[in-house]
């Protein structure tokens, strides 16, 4: 299975140009512990870490790089907090396209090593992803580079790469096939592209669950405006340490507000501490090893139920966006907790 089974995604990309590593078709699994303990009737997790490079960004990369092959472009210029860069580097390697990536200041070393392993050129930009002015200046520079002959700028946002983002919408179509009566979908958001893609993907089908935007409270560009009735997201000085969701600028924020509100969803904020605790619970109670950004959706769903924003009835889906192997520092933090088992040497002679 791949994203190319969906006709509107394949449109404009001839079959020989379609680059695939087997992305898509990820499992939707029912919660065995967290959901029942919180009194959810049916809590499920969409395991996007099962994609080839370890995150949902492979859906984006497959579409983006295939369009580059179609247009005979030879150099991919990109920006990333980690997962986008890893995915683009993998698909560029498969397509024999050069890949140059500017990464945010806080990108985990393990993600940078993954990009390098695929042969990408990687550049770290101080303040990028944390300071809105630096972030805007970096985007402007990348846009200029992306306009060079044979080049294409690939940023996983509708504002910059709408053709690539069509691939991300395949997640909603899979969910509709896997479960016909989803009531709520909780999506983690940095720039917001994933949330927009999923909401729009559902709008193509017969059922349209409420799609909710969940952000760390240290990067509240979208969630509070969505919740408070505003039509516009806003820039912030990002203080969150959740890698992948440190996006200080609006990017797709205004579209998130429109799409989520139209679906009946709203915005939710969670602390970094809640995210790390939920990441640990997913590993210990569900056997799901995800990076912190992947736990944000679950933390948001739990907070939403506790506040009474949603009832525990119906099927609630949380998007688990990336693998725990993506962020070694967060795993070390999780394992440094007092109640975590330690590795001991034993003499078996």
Q: Domain residues of the chain, as ranges? A: 8-50+164-330, 57-160
Q: pLDDT at residue 8 above 80?
A: yes
In this structure, what are the phi and psi dihedrals at residue 325, rounded to the nearest 5 degrees? -70, -10
> Which whole number is the average pLDDT over 293-317?
95
> Which whole number is the average pLDDT over 50-61?
97
Place of tokens 């509107």: 8
Q: pLDDT at residue 246 above 90?
A: no
Q: How far is 55 from 59, CA to CA, in rounded Å?
A: 9
pLDDT score, position 203: 86
pLDDT score, position 289: 97
pLDDT tens per residue across span 102-119: 988 877 788 899 999 999
Q: How far is 68 from 65, CA to CA, in rounded Å?
A: 5
pLDDT score, position 282: 98
> What Å distances lie between residue 87 and 42, 53, 91, 108, 154, CA to CA?
31, 6, 6, 15, 11
> Which whole number is the average pLDDT over 256-260?
98
> Which whole number is the average pLDDT over 22-35?
97
Mutual angle of helices 328-335 and 109-117, in 10-degree steps = 140
Q: pLDDT at residue 2 above 90?
A: no
Q: pLDDT at residue 348 above 70?
A: no
The overall longest dimension of the chain from CA atoms, in Å, is 69
Q: How far is 249 from 251, CA to CA, in rounded Å?
A: 6
Q: pLDDT at residue 281 above 90?
A: yes
Lowest mean pLDDT among 90-99, 215-224, 239-248: 239-248
Provide the mean pLDDT of the chain: 92
> Which whole number is the average pLDDT over 45-73?
98
pLDDT score, position 311: 86
3-state class (DSSP) for residue 134: helix
Place of tokens 């695929």: 118
3-state class (DSSP) for residue 239: coil
Q: How far is 233 from 114, CA to CA, in rounded Å?
A: 32
Q: pLDDT at residue 232 above 70?
A: yes
The structure tokens listed for 290 are 């995800």
Q: pLDDT at residue 344 above 80?
A: no
Does domain 8-50+164-330 fall under CATH 3.30.70.60? My reply is no
Q: In the 8-state DSSP scheme, what is residue 231?
A: S
pLDDT score, position 36: 97
Q: Which residues contact 292 (CB under 8 A, 6 or more apart)?
A: 242, 243, 244, 272, 275, 276, 279, 327, 330
pLDDT score, position 346: 64
> Which whole number is the average pLDDT over 284-303?
97
CATH class of the domain whose range is 57-160? alpha beta
pLDDT score, position 339: 62
């Amino acid at each position: 299975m791949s994203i190319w089974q969906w006709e509107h995604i394949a449109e404009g990309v001839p079959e020989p140009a379609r680059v695939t590593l087997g992305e898509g078709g990820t499992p939707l699994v029912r919660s065995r512990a967290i959901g029942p303990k919180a009194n959810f009737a049916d809590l499920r997790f969409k395991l996007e870490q099962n994609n080839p490079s370890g995150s949902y960004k492979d859906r984006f990369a497959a579409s983006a790089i295939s369009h580059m092959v179609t247009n005979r472009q030879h150099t991919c210029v990109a920006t990333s907090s980690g997962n986008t860069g890893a995915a683009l580097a993998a698909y560029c390697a498969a397509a024999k396209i050069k890949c140059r990536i500017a990464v945010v200041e806080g990108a985990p070393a393990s993600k940078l090593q993954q990009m390098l392993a695929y042969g990408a050129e990687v550049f770290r930009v101080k303040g990028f992803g944390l300071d809105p002015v630096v972030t805007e200046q970096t985007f402007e520079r990348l846009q200029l580079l992306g306009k060079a002959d044979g080049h294409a700028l690939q940023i996983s946002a509708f504002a910059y790469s709408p053709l690539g983002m069509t691939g991300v919408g395949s997640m909603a179509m899979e969910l509709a096939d896997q479960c016909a009566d989803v009531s709520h979908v909780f999506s983690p958001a940095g720039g917001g592209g994933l949330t927009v893609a999923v909401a729009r993907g559902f709008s193509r089908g017969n059922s349209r669950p409420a799609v909710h935007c969940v952000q760390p409270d240290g990067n509240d560009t979208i969630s509070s405006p969505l919740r408070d009735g505003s039509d516009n997201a806003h820039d912030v000085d990002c203080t969150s340490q959740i890698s992948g969701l440190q996006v200080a600028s609006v990017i797709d924020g205004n579209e998130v507000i429109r799409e989520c509100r139209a679906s009946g969803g709203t915005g939710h904020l969670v602390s970094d501490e809640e995210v790390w605790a939920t990441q640990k619970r997913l590993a210990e109670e569900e056997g799901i090893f995800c990076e912190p950004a992947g736990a944000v959706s679950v933390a948001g769903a739990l907070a939403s139920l506790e506040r009474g924003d949603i009832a525990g009835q119906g099927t609630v889906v949380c998007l688990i966006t990336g693998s725990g192997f993506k962020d070694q520092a967060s795993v070390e933090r999780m394992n440094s907790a007092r109640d975590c088992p330690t590795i001991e040497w034993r003499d078996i002679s």
